[in-house]
Chain A
Amino acid sequence: MTGVSGKVGLVFVSHSAKIAEGLVELAAQMAAGTALAAAGGTDDGGVGTSFDRVAAAIAAVDSGVGVVVLCDLGSAILTAETAKDFLDDAVRERVVIVDAPLVEGAVAAAVEAEGGGDMAAVVSAARSAIGAFATEDKTSLDGGAAGPPEGYSRSVTIVNRDGLHARPAAEFVKLANTLDAPVTVNGKDARSLLGIMSMGLVKGSTVELVTPSVDGQPAVDSLAELIESGFGES
């Protein structure tokens, strides 16, 4: 076994070696303790996908818990599926290929894997990238204007310099994942990294944290305090 023990590993398959390597670099910022492997380009360094590179990348990140493979255009998926078919039965069962936007899906999956999420959670995080940005306008217009009367809500202003960009958003989502109560941020699920990032919340924005039941008050408060803390940024 290779990879990081107990954690789901990730493979990024792209026609371009640079894209795949860049994704590893980007995702590692938020998932430094997760096994990430690039499988980009052909064996001779050209544009395309390589069966051998995909197979090697899967082997390199497989700790036995599972491997999630994200792909770019068409033949990347075909190559990944073919590589999967050639694996031993036991290994094949723990490899899932996710057809989702590559960059957004990779980041969301990496954050989930880093937090110790199991296969289902990492796959779900990667899939959350599908359409995560499609409802952006609608949400910013009417998202979370008023909480349900029987629940609990709290308005908070973003204070850190760069707003809820990737690292703070990841920190926020990690905390939300540890809380029992469901919380929305301007109408978006607080556990959805891409949902949070897609709102483009900058310094000075006000967000409405809402939970449907008063039992969720501690959850809303701890998330509000994290935002007010500025995530350790100036």
Chain B
Amino acid sequence: MTLNTDWAVRWIKGSAAVVSEHRVELITLDREIGDGDHGENLDRGFSAVLPKLDDLPTDASPGDALKLVATTLISTVGGAAGPLYGTAYLKAAGAVAGQAELDGAALVAMLTAARDGIVLRGKAEAGDKTMVDAWTPAVDAAAKGLAAGLDEAAILDAAASAAEAGARATEPLVARKGRASYLGERAIGHRDPGAQSSALLLRVAADAAAGA
């Protein structure tokens, strides 16, 4: 099966639900090494997306839905996650603009564009203890999955698993970007909240495809 707008909407609704469910966990992670607002900010952002989904035209593409998420997060999140995720969704939307259904190649292009958007905006590299540490392994796993002939749901599953491993792997790192970079070695032992939320969102994308 290919991924259509129904999938994108399920992913977005699921993202709102999972962010709300993990709100306290993300706040706690962020309080340990940041300013403690990541869970609350993302929850506010995705909550603001939900009512707008009803206004999507019936012929909207997956890219249109992702663009709606981008502009809403940018306007409502308030912390660094707003511009970072906003840019990710915006670039993702651009990569698949006009396509009614996404095949594996489009999916990999979309994930790559999202990751590149985060890198462009935050200027972080792999190993800086940021979202990039979840996204880069996810993109690599997706590309590998595509090359191995996996279907879209399996590609997303591989990407989500790699993102989860990447998020866990931020724990021993010293942060080189963001508020946590002020903490130096005190950030060691704490998982990066942005990497964690990235992994959660990618898992929802996989679940939305598997349930289709």
Contacts and interface: CB of A to CB of B under 8 A. Distances in A.
A48 B37 CA distance: 9
A102 B122 CA distance: 20
Contacts of A52: 75
Contacts of A73: 179
Contacts of A160: none
A74 B80 contact: yes
Interface in B35-90: 37, 41, 74-76, 78-84, 86-87
A85 B87 CA distance: 10
A82 B74 contact: yes
A101 to B, nearest CB: 16
B189 interface: no
Given A48-B41, A51-B83, A73-B179, A78 B78 contact: no
B121 A49 contact: no
A86 B79 CA distance: 18
A46 to B, nearest CB: 7
A75 B76 contact: no
B147 to A, nearest CB: 33
Scoring A47, A51, A78, A82 by chain B CB atoms within 10 A of each residue's CB, the highest score goes to A78
Given A48-B41, A81-B121, A75 B82 contact: yes
B149 interface: no
Given A81-B121, A82-B83, A74 B78 contact: no
B122 A51 contact: no
Interface residues of B, number: 19
Contacts of B87: 82, 85
Nearest to A46: B78
Interface in A128-166: none
Interface in A19-63: 42-43, 46-52
Contacts of B86: 51, 82
A74 B178 CA distance: 6
A79 interface: yes
Contact of A51 (B74, B84, B177, B179): B74
A49 B86 CA distance: 14
A51 B87 CA distance: 12
A74 B74 contact: no
Contact of A79 (B37, B83, B178, B179): B83
A78 B76 CA distance: 14
Contacts of B121: 78, 81-82
Nearest to A82: B83
Contacts of A49: 78-79, 82
A78 B83 contact: yes
B41 A78 contact: no
B84 to A, nearest CB: 6
Given A78-B84, A82-B87, A50 B78 contact: yes
Contacts of B76: 43
B83 A48 contact: no
Contacts of B41: 48
Contacts of B84: 78
A73 B83 CA distance: 14
Nearest to A85: B87
Contacts of B75: 43, 50-52
A51 B83 CA distance: 8
B124 to A, nearest CB: 11
B78 A81 contact: no
A124 B82 CA distance: 29
Given A42-B78, A75-B82, 9 more contacts: A47-B37, A48-B37, A48-B78, A50-B78, A51-B82, A74-B80, A74-B179, A79-B82, A81-B121
Interface of B: 37, 41, 74-76, 78-84, 86-87, 121-122, 177-179
**7 smallest beta-carbon distances between A and B, as pairs:** A48-B78, A75-B80, A78-B83, A42-B78, A82-B83, A51-B74, A51-B75
11 contacts: A47-B37, A51-B74, A51-B75, A73-B179, A75-B82, A78-B80, A78-B84, A81-B83, A81-B121, A82-B121, A86-B74
